[in-house]
Amino acid sequence: MSKEIRDQLQLFNVDSPCIGICEVNNRGYCKGCFRSRDERFHWQKFSEGDKSKILKLCHRRRKRKSSQNKGDDEPQSPQNLSLF
């Protein structure tokens, strides 16, 4: 992202991604918004640029989690079975 675009993005307030599901998974991320403990507790202190970076991280975490869940739903392929 160019510096000019980054500067323009910082003109807008970045809202909290909280959706009211405030439970933590086994890795320490919120199950609702996928922020870490520090990201949740210090959200108001972060600059708008930092908030944007955190939102990108949350999106990656959510995407990784959904791809892991898809793998759980698919039937497992048979292991190398020997007929002899």
Ordered by start, the domain boundaries in the chain are 35-62
* Burial label, 50 (beta-carbon count in 10 A; 0-12, 13-18, 19+): middle
Residue 80 pLDDT more than 60? no
C-alpha 53/C-alpha 81 separation (Å) is 47
In this predicted structure, the answer to whether residue 60 has a pLDDT above a threshold of 90 is yes
Task: Calculate the alpha carbon distances from 72 to 4, 12, 43, 69 in Å.
Answer: 42, 39, 33, 5
* pLDDT above 70: residue 74: no
Residue found under tokens 């392929």? 77
